[in-house]
Amino acid sequence: MSIALPGRHRRLIYLAFAFLVLSGLVWLGGRYGLRSDPELPHPLEAWALKLHGAAAMLGLLALGSVLPQHVRFAWRARRNRTSGATMLSLAGILILTGYGLYYAADENLRPWISLAHWASGLVLPAGLIWHVAAGRRRKKPGS
């Protein structure tokens, strides 16, 4: 029964999250920084979204991969629940709002879904750093 994530698995999670955040940041840079005409998308935005779509697929795979062992066993053992639950909540918000960005038809709602999505996305790295640090701190010898 292993809660700790072996090197390759852990690296998959870091890679997927870094890819998600970086592609999101590039889109934000294009949308809010580089547009010369506020009505016209900067070419980087479309590229960033294509990369972000790929990152989202990898990210969902990475999230799914921690559920059956890591999350289930740690939850039962009551280890690192607060930061773990925060990670799961952030992931849930990102998935729901990501779905909303694809399919919400209401144009008045879209900017709010977008804001909720990328604001939670920007919090994700801090959440992960907190989660990993708390997990290491509380690690029992030999577990």
Interface with ligand HEM (CB under 6 A) = 3-5, 10, 13, 20-21, 24-25, 27-28, 49, 52-53, 56, 59-60, 63, 66, 70-71, 74-75, 79-81, 84-85, 87-88, 91, 94-95, 98, 101-102, 114, 117-118, 121-122, 124, 131-132, 135-136, 139, 143
* Buried-exposed string 61-100: b where 16+ CB fall within 10 A, e elsewhere: ebbeebeeebbeebeeeebbeebbebbbebbebbeebbeb
Q: How many CB atoms lie within 10 A of CB 48?
A: 22
CB of residue 36 vs ligand HEM: minimum separation in angstroms? 19
CB of residue 95 vs ligand HEM: minimum separation in angstroms? 5
Torsion angles phi and psi, residue 57, rounded to 5: -65, -45
CB of residue 34 vs ligand HEM: minimum separation in angstroms? 14
CB neighbour class for 46 (10 Å; exposed up to 12, middle 13-18, buried from 19): exposed
Q: Please, which residue, 44 or 101, has the CB nearer to ligand HEM?
A: 101
In the chain, DSSP finds a helix count (H) and a strand count (E) of 5, 0
Q: Please, which residue, 37 or 107, has the CB nearer to ligand HEM?
A: 107
CB of residue 96 vs ligand HEM: minimum separation in angstroms? 9
